[in-house]
Amino acid sequence: MAILVLGGAGYIGSHTVRALVESGRDTVVVDNLQTGFREAVHPAARFYEVDIRDRQALDRVFEAEQIEAVIHFAAFSQVGESMVRPLAYYDNNLTGTIVLLQAMVAAQVNAIVFSSTAATYGEPERVPIMEGDRTLPTSCYGETKLAMEKLMGWAGRAHDLRSVALRYFNAAGAHPSGEIGEAHASESHLVPIVLQVALGQRDAISVFGDDYPTPDGTCIRDYVHVTDLAAAHILAVDHLLAGGSSDVFNLGSGNGFSVKEVIEVARKVTGHPIPVEIAPRRPGDPAQLVASSAKIRQALGWSPQQESVEAIVSSAWVWHQAHPHGYRN
């Protein structure tokens, strides 16, 4: 029996695929390569270039493979873009998930782990954020992910589908081999953008707002290493395959770092001055997002191995130095 990874050619998806293969799991990948890269997919995984909104193509994958569980990464994920392209985000994220669940029900596959997000919380009521806290997204991206969570809940009631939603905070870093890492055609994440400055690909890093109600005025985020995220997805799959019930878990280190603090760490790691330019705030950006991951640590035994921001940035730096243009080198 195989694990089907949707969006397995993307950043977090490709790291999870590698972790599955390295743990001896039979792995199947579906990706439309709109934002992912075929080169990122482990050669031992069977690959299908399919858009999950294409029901017939998805049905053929389920017919060709013996799937026991699904890991779902296939979604648009940029907060700023979602605010100006809401229809595209609802179409891709929510419509794609509806089609996927229809195909799963038809194929009698009833276990799914999917990547949700801290953006479902919006401006937090408290820090660190607990899973039971209010969910009031401030971005279209967060709204689509919350809608996906609710959809899976209702599908679970109607079709005996069990799901785990992993609300992760800021994924960063790269695989220790340096063979795969973060690469986007249009980069919006802090760590790779800072490292692009160090590589001479950008003149400066734009800091979007320095007037937030935080100690240094810049947004605070909780950074979690991508390989630790991958490990959590596998633990969640095993939980469901063992008969575990549906649940929601935060994935974060529990430590918050401001944009300015991350830039300082990058200066230390790279030896580059990394000039800063202050820019207006971006719509949809909460001031502070820091997770409590106590629930998943206790319930699934998740234990992140690389919690320091310096270790995360250092692993990303190894990848970006070796692949300054991502998979297009």
Residues 71 and 164 in one domain: yes
Q: Is 90 a catalytic residue?
A: no
- At CA 59, angle to CA 54 and CA 65, rounded to 5? 130
**CA 299 to CA 273: how far, in whole Å?**
43
Which structural domain range is residue 277 located in? 190-221+254-328
For the ranges 23-27, 128-132, 285-289, which has the lowest average pLDDT? 285-289
DSSP state of 282: P
Residues 162 and 196 in one domain: no
Catalytic residue among 121, 141, 168, 223: 141
Q: What is the pLDDT of residue 79?
A: 83
Residues 84 and 155 in one domain: yes
**Residues 172-191 pLDDT 10s:** 999 999 999 998 766 778 99
**CA 142 to CA 275: how far, in whole Å?**
31
Residues 231 and 214 in one domain: no
Residues 144 and 265 in one domain: no
Total domains in the chain come to 2
Q: What is the pLDDT of residue 329?
A: 63
The residue behind tokens 């985020």 is 221
**CA 101 to CA 155: how far, in whole Å?**
8
For the ranges 119-123, 271-275, 291-295, 325-329, which has the lowest average pLDDT? 325-329
Residues 115 and 137 in one domain: yes
Q: What is the DSSP string of 93-131?
A: IIIHHHHHHHHHHHHT--EEEEEEEGGGTBS-SSSSBPT
Residue 179 in any domain: the answer is no
Residue 23 in any domain: the answer is yes
CATH number at residue 262: 3.90.25.10
Checking if the pLDDT of 284 tops 80, the result is no
**CA 175 to CA 229: how far, in whole Å?**
11
Residues 154 and 270 in one domain: no
Residues 258 and 151 in one domain: no
Residues 155 and 61 in one domain: yes
Residues 168 and 32 in one domain: yes
Average pLDDT, the chain: 94
Q: What is the pLDDT of residue 73?
A: 97
**CA 280 to CA 207: how far, in whole Å?**
8
Q: What is the pLDDT of residue 185?
A: 64
Q: What is the pLDDT of residue 140?
A: 95
**Residues 213-272 pLDDT 10s:** 999 999 999 999 999 999 999 999 999 999 999 999 999 988 999 999 999 999 999 999
Contacts of 89 (CB under 8 A, 6+ apart): 76, 81, 82, 140, 141, 144
